[in-house]
Amino acid sequence: MRKAFTLIELLVVIAIIAILAAILFPVFAQAKAAAKKSAGTSNSKQLTLAVLMYEGDYDDFVPPSTQWNPQSNPGGDPLGFGNGWFANWGWLAAPYIKNAGIFYDPQAPNTPKIFNSDTITSTNFPDFGYNYVYLSPWNGTHQAPISGTLPDQPASTIMMAERGAAPEEKYGTGAWWGFSFTYAADGPMLNATVEVPNCGPIPQFCASNWGVGDFSCAALTVAAGMNTGGVAVRAGGQSITAFLDGHVKAMTPGALAAGTTWTPTLAQGSLTWSSSYPASYLWSTSKSWTVNGVW
């Protein structure tokens, strides 16, 4: 005659299963996070290659942060605002990708679709932001995209970094923000960009320094870039970062702010250059400054 399990035996089995689950679930969570980080790194790499291919077709110039055309001649720009039509850098790079999902980071929350278009949504609200201050500088009248051969050290110059997604920003999906919304001023829209750590002393228009307080980005949380100019730090306290030579890696905010005095608790107005500037500053195209400059 077969004996049934006793209550004690059942409780022991349940306890063992609970212990195994407690051990394995964190491992599964870590594996899932690692997989998402790997996918985000791959997406960033594809975007970087798209920008490099764009350079090859446009006389070695990188895409402008925002391209503007007048209402009378919109060209291929998808959206109208003020007296002009505009396209962010992502829209210009999109033909080299042909996959809207590449603009998203699997670690970020999903961005709702606008205008019933995945491509318009992803290119205007990407999860990776362009280094517009140095790659497409705006002097108050127009943007001037740089030549890909201009940077002193492409492998040490940031092209783009992981950024806060639209659902993580106070303006939300469907809202554009920037310096100027007219064709005449040709200003950059900031939905597809990230801010450089120290932009205050630069003879260029930018939102604000990294740090606590003031206005540097629309991010709602630290992970989404509240104190780092919109540079998101979802990847285990790191940001997936792409460089002008095409390589991609995850970096901490401290490493991204090298050359400045940035700390997580420093007020934005107190941030300055450090003694290691400019050689260690990763955002500028020039490593030989002796004074504050952009070009």
CA distances from 82 to 86, 116, 227 (A): 10, 22, 31
CA distances from 216 to 197, 207, 283 (A): 10, 5, 16
Instruction: Please give the chain's pLDDT, 295 residues, in tens.
Output: 556 667 777 788 888 888 887 776 676 566 667 788 889 999 999 999 999 999 999 999 999 999 999 888 888 899 988 788 999 999 999 999 989 999 999 999 999 999 889 999 999 999 999 999 999 988 778 888 999 988 999 999 999 999 999 999 988 888 888 877 777 788 888 999 999 998 866 656 777 889 998 777 789 999 999 999 999 998 889 999 999 999 999 999 999 999 999 999 999 889 888 877 778 899 988 887 665 554 3
For residue range 37-93, what is the model confidence (pLDDT) as tens digits? 889 999 999 999 999 999 999 999 999 999 999 888 888 899 988 788 999 999 999
Angle, alpha carbons 283-284-285 (nearest 5°): 125
Cα–chain center distance at 216: 14
Mapping DSSP onto H, E and C, the string for the chain reads: CCCCCCHHHHHHHHHHHHHHHHHHHHHHHHHHHHHHHHHHHHHHHHHHHHHHHHHHHCCCECCCCEEEEECCCCCCCCEEECCEEEEEHHHHHHHHCCCHHHHCCCCCCCCCCECCEHHHHHHHCCCEEECHHHHCCECCCCECCCECCCCCCHHHCEEEEEECCHHHECCCCCCCCECCCCCCCCCCECCCECCCCCCCCCCCCCCCCCCECCCCCCECCCCCCCCCCCECCCCCCCEEEEECCCCEEEECHHHHCCCECCCCCCEHHHCCECCCCCCCCCCCCCCCCCCCCCC
What are the extents of the domains in the chain? 10-270
Q: Tell me the CB-side half-sphere exposure of residue 244, using CA atoms within 13 A.
A: 27
Residue type, 76: G
